[in-house]
Homo-oligomer: A and B are copies of this chain.
């Protein structure tokens, strides 16, 4: 009875850009569902396929999306994807993404991969942290949009960043690139994530009664996102820094807060940091700089924003705090932001 399911205003955009065909592989997980929600209302694309390798019928009921997207979830079919989409989003496990992405790219489809399969460029490091992945295809861009806009624009395959690296590198990289860190100083990244970051698969660790009223650290010295953050820091500056990354699981659903501890080069002040950040993000619609009034997860939940705050003490220690919604700026939102860059439309399209 409701034939027009798109937002009333969304398709009225005059001559505008041609409509691209997009598809989602892995549509029933948390990031997959967010992709469906965002793409169904996006004025520049039409969603031609939503696929899932899951076999249970219940996995394919998406009651939260009714009236927002009323299409059918179909079984994963590579050839259909290649035929019916110009851009494919992969929200699949690493091994499936590693296998499927090159095939799609070879078929001329552009891919935004939300898995970790293509995030680590160094072959040795990639083999260590993602042994399930194989060769690195050509034309891969690392999709931290604000820092890689031109690479993303021309990419055939975008490796959408991890949630922790997104929150961390948006705060840390500008300072590293500007040479503001004391030489050889340690970097500590203490990150806290909501439970949706662990995915939709039930487990003892994500059982409500285990998380509610609790808090725990995990993956100490041994988390894939630590390697991805180190890669990002190294890309910003050749001078070496030891980086310690410890993620924590906190009893909330959506959101990451990363607290970053660094030593600054002599003479660097709170104002210096402000200037560097302002310059770095002058053209970044989704980065909001809040300075000494530190950011909170509540302010970015259900948005694609990254809010960054900072404090510096007279002895040269700095604390950076960065917050995102892990399912949006940390996953599906940034994936759509990357798609916007790939399509040449305004970066904010469909995301405000």
A190 to B345, CA, bound (A): 41
Contact A282 B1 (CB under 8 A): yes
Residue-wise interface mask of A (178-220) relative to B, using a CB-CB cutoff of 8 A (1 in contact, 0 not):
0000000010101010111000101110111111111111101
A345 to B346, CA, bound (A): 26
Residues of B within 8 A of A317 (CB): 186, 221, 242, 244
Does A113 touch B at the CB level, under 8 Å? Answer: no
Residues of B within 8 A of A319 (CB): 217, 220-221, 244, 246
Q: Which residue of B lies closest to A193 (CB)?
A: B215
If over half of A's interface residues share one DSSP class (helix, strand or loop), that class is named, otherwise mixed; here it is: loop
Contact A253 B202 (CB under 8 A): no
Contact A321 B217 (CB under 8 A): yes
Contact A209 B253 (CB under 8 A): yes
Contact (A216, B297) CB under 8 Å given A7-B348, A7-B352, A208-B206: yes
Q: Which residue of B lies closest to A42 (CB)?
A: B9
Q: Which residue of B lies closest to A66 (CB)?
A: B288
Does A121 touch B at the CB level, under 8 Å? Answer: no
Interface residues on chain A, size class = 35 or more
Contact B220 A294 (CB under 8 A): yes
The segment from A88-96, A147-155, A257-265 that touches chain B is A257-265
Does A296 touch B at the CB level, under 8 Å? Answer: yes
Q: Which of A207-249 contact B (CB under 8 A)?
A: 207-218, 220-221, 242, 244, 246, 248
Residues of B within 8 A of A7 (CB): 348-350, 352
The residue from B64, B313, B345 contacting A8, defined by CB atoms under 8 A apart: B345
Contact B296 A215 (CB under 8 A): yes
Contact A252 B212 (CB under 8 A): yes
Contact B213 A294 (CB under 8 A): no
The segment from A101-109, A128-136, A298-306 that touches chain B is A298-306
Residues of B within 8 A of A214 (CB): 252, 255, 296-298, 301
A211 to B208, CA, bound (A): 7
| 15 A-B pairs with C-beta separation under 8 A | A2-B285, A66-B288, A67-B352, A186-B186, A190-B190, A192-B215, A194-B213, A195-B209, A202-B207, A212-B253, A213-B253, A213-B255, A215-B297, A246-B259, A261-B261
Supplied contacts A213-B301, A214-B255, 15 more A-B pairs, CB within 8 Å: A7-B349, A8-B348, A30-B209, A63-B293, A63-B295, A67-B285, A186-B317, A208-B211, A212-B253, A213-B213, A214-B297, A220-B294, A220-B319, A250-B251, A302-B302
